[in-house]
Amino acid sequence: MQCRPAAGATGVNVTEVEVIRAASISVPHGFLGRRGGVSTGIHAGLNVGLGSDDDREAIVENRRRAVAAVMPGAALATLHQVHSAIALPVTAPYPDDARPQADALVTDRPGLLLGILTADCTPVLFADTQAGVVGAAHAGWKGALGGVTDATLDAMEALGADRGRIAAAIGPCIARASYEVGEDFARAFEAADPGNERFFSAGRPGHLQFDMEAYVTARLAAAGVRRIEALGLDTYADDSRFFSYRRACHRGEPGYGREISLIGLPG
């Protein structure tokens, strides 16, 4: 993608960080979009992606603002996300240049804020408040199909959580109406479980529309999670509020920002 950005790039309100919260989770948490940051141009707003081609100082400031908006004074732990099904227990933040390759993290340590980055993929936040265990997962289609949410539940239970008590919230991600896929993509899901056919609907010839939010919801329910809240927010459709990898590709933009979803236990 080396095309020039479209003229008239989206302007974003930089005065206040928007924190989208789930009613089912009572510990400090939030799904953040692009509002309230200092980045400009195609990354305008609260871009927190260390791997993006954005000004490093802006990214650091955006991360500081994100933490302050959700759990002031917390230590932020993030990963080098690789679309895996790996979930790691975390006891302290990782250095930015030594983040392990994984796509979910869990903790029982107060004062630690878990962060997952997305730009169309599905962010999922988990909490067992009785056990004092939280988790966060980045579920792109590969990780979702591979079982990243199942791995997160297993890792939380290893710290004393009970999946029957865990509340899970699914944040902003690309919606069915915006997520066109090929027939081979659908066949991979149906090979894993013929019942996955229900997450696809007809699109233009040779293509289907995939409901990733519904798939992740069903996957959580099948794993024994009883409280699941899906926020139903489409990252692709709202460029004033969210970053979107697919939208950037369709516009021929040379890069894209990342939003962050956060959860932690107060100190």
Domain that holds residue 121: 19-175+211-264
Q: Is residue 244 part of a domain?
A: yes
Of 66, 124, 58, 56, give the one whose Cα is nearest residue 260. 66
Minimum mean pLDDT range among 12-26, 203-217, 229-243:
12-26
Q: Looking at the whole model, is its pTM more than 0.75?
A: yes
**Residue 7 scores a pLDDT above 90:** no
Give residue 267's pLDDT.
84
Gap between the Cα atoms of 81 and 250, Å rounded: 23
Average pLDDT value over all residues in the chain: 94
Q: In the predicted model, what is the mean pLDDT of residues 145-157?
A: 98
Question: Is a pLDDT exceeding 80 seen at residue 2?
Answer: no
Q: Which residues pair with 200 in a beta bridge?
A: 210
Number of domains the chain is built from: 1
Q: Which residue has the tokens 């939280």?
A: 134
10 pLDDT higher than 90 = no
Please indicate, yes or no, if residue 197 is contained in any of the structural domains: no
CA 132 to each of CA 77, 148, 156, 221, 263: distance values in angstroms, whole numbers, following the listed order: 17, 21, 10, 21, 12
Cα gap 54→39, rounded to integer Å: 7
Structural domain includes residue 193 = no
SS3 140: coil
pLDDT at 11: 43
Q: Average the pLDDT over 1-27 and give the result.
A: 63
pLDDT surpassing 70 at residue 15:
no
Q: How many CB atoms lie within 10 A of CB 238?
A: 15
CATH at residue 29:
3.60.140.10
Give residue-wise pLDDT tens across range 67-99: 999 999 999 999 999 999 999 999 999 999 999
| Average pLDDT score over residue span 50-64 | 96
What's residue 215's pLDDT? 98
- The pLDDT of residue 156 is above 90: yes
Helix (H) or strand (E) holding 67: helix 56-70
Strand 227-230 to strand 167-170: parallel, antiparallel, or no bridges (unpaired)?
parallel
- For range 164-183, the mean pLDDT: 98
Alpha-carbon distance 71 to 110, whole Å?
11
Per-residue model confidence (pLDDT) at position 140: 96
Given a cut of 80, whether residue 12 has pLDDT beyond it is no
pLDDT one-digit tens code per residue, 213-243 = 999 999 999 999 999 999 999 999 999 999 9
Please list, in sequence order, all residues whose beta carbon lies within 8 angstroms of the beta carbon of residue 90, skipping any fewer than 6 positions away.
Answer: 77, 105, 106, 107, 109, 112, 114
Whole-number percent of the chain with pLDDT over 90: 94
Confidence class of residue 6 from pLDDT cuts 50, 70 and 90?
very low
